Structure 1
Amino acid sequence: MLQKPKAVLRMVESALAAGIHADYILMDSWFTTEPFVKSLSDLGQDVIGMVKDMKQRYYYNGHLYTLPQLAKIAMDRSKNKLYRSLMVRTRKHYLSVRIVFVRNRNKKGELLYILSTDNALSEDEIIRIYGMRWNIETFFKASKSLLKLGREFQTRSYDSAVAHTAIVFARYTFLEWLRRQENDPKTYGGLFFALCEDVQDMELSDALRSLMSLFMETINGYGTEDTETIKSKVSNWIASQSRYIKGLFPNLCWES
């Protein structure tokens, strides 16, 4: 029964009350409006979101400008860069925000506008963090197109809708876990096997002979009376072992 921004605000408040913390709330242009950004800022949440040019105006150096006018000011400073930013204030609530103007690499006349309420972030960081939204878009695309979110059955019960959504998201989580295990080279399992490809396997017998050879060379280098005791103990230990171990050292010689 609520408008979408109000419903989303209640969901954010519920998440905060449950102890769920987020460094930034990422939003598309539908939600990145001044009233909604102000509501989230009042909750202590920073926002990074795409802004759509709706002829809204922002204060810059004491004057009001539209987004295209601000973009012209920013881009004229460095025509060779694909992105620039300006610190501005919103018109109604006078919020201090940074707007990053990103030029379309293929169509220089097209620009994207990304707003951040965290003024300490650099342009690169704002673009990098907002880029994480692509994972959200692919998640919703897979949930709706492949896992039939909202189309698997019809219901008028809110609880049923929530249960169905939870089931779909659980499916996605399992499928993503399997994908990471089988295909993603960044997982620990894949990385481990990739690094072990260059390690040559060694037989147990070769490893024991190599270890004993190193031990004998070390003992022979001492040249003290104590080494005789050590040699005697090792010889007795080998004699007490199985035929397999004895067979590895049939002619044990302590001479260097």
Structure 2
Amino acid sequence: MSILPSPDQQNEQLFSNSIISFIKKFQVIKLLRKCGFRKEKGISLFSLFLYVLSNVFRDRSLYMQLKMDHFQENFSKNSYYRFMRNVHVNWLHFTTLLSAQIINNHLRSLTSEKRADCFVVDDSYFSRTGFKKTELVAKVFDHVSMTYKKGFRMMTLGWTDGASFMPINSVLLSSQKLQNMIGENKVFDQRTIAGQRRMLARTKGTDVMVNLIDQAMKAGHQAKYVLFDSWFSNPHQIVQLKQRKLDVIAMVKVSSKIKYEFEGERKNIKQIYRSCKKRCGRSRYLLSIPVKVGRQDKDGAKIDARIVCVRNRANRKDWLAIICTDMSLSEDEIIRNYGKRWDIE
């Protein structure tokens, strides 16, 4: 059963008016033209986009409307398909601009200045059943089932203030390894939108994360912190974001290969944890230590950060580590701000 009920005849006009109001308020048609959509004659761009957006909230599709003979629009199905398949429209840039309009002109005025807003990055498995006919589909690792599945990884960048969450943009990631590729890998001019999206799909996930944040900031997005889990928590990416004047609050990856400078020596997180005295009693955290992240020769800079170790709620004998590049934050504020990352789930 759908969670989006279809409006009845009585409320149809009211529903359409609300969609029209949204399109006009946030200048959606202007943004579409800015992202490459051009229409010289025929059905207006406004009518086509209104129909596409309305179908999402009405839980309808063009195919079923044609099959049930309920299609009553003043354009043909060919006009609809030409609109959806227009190769000149940069949909990634469109969602980035639209979310900036909504956040900056509506949500930000509702957010207190004392409440820190954050970028949140996460990826999840995107299933593809017809994988044999799908371009760039690959065997990707699903972190939930801990197995390889056929499909994509969908990386999503969002914005949150702890009360509201707004997705900014997203990208489907394939595999960099040729042996994991299943779908066809077509060759496109790298200067075109199609070529750039396919190149992005086969780029390393941590680099894609920085790319999405760069696009968001260029479109007018602002945030104080970037939140992500241990999958993206590499010193190189942390240094890159700090150079963009963004502080990071992230889960530390427990790996012997990733090392931090602590008391003049380079140690991994397990070595640091074992060498320090833990807080006892009912403290909210076990350990809080200043470290330096990155290497001058490899990452281009070496920055200050704080690692806070907390108990793992799922296993009280285990522990988790959170890293923060804002040295002015207290341990309680670091833990509280990292909790905002769950908004993207």
TM-score, with normalisation over the residues of structure 2?
0.37
Which structure has more helix as a fraction of its residues?
Answer: 1
Higher strand share: 2
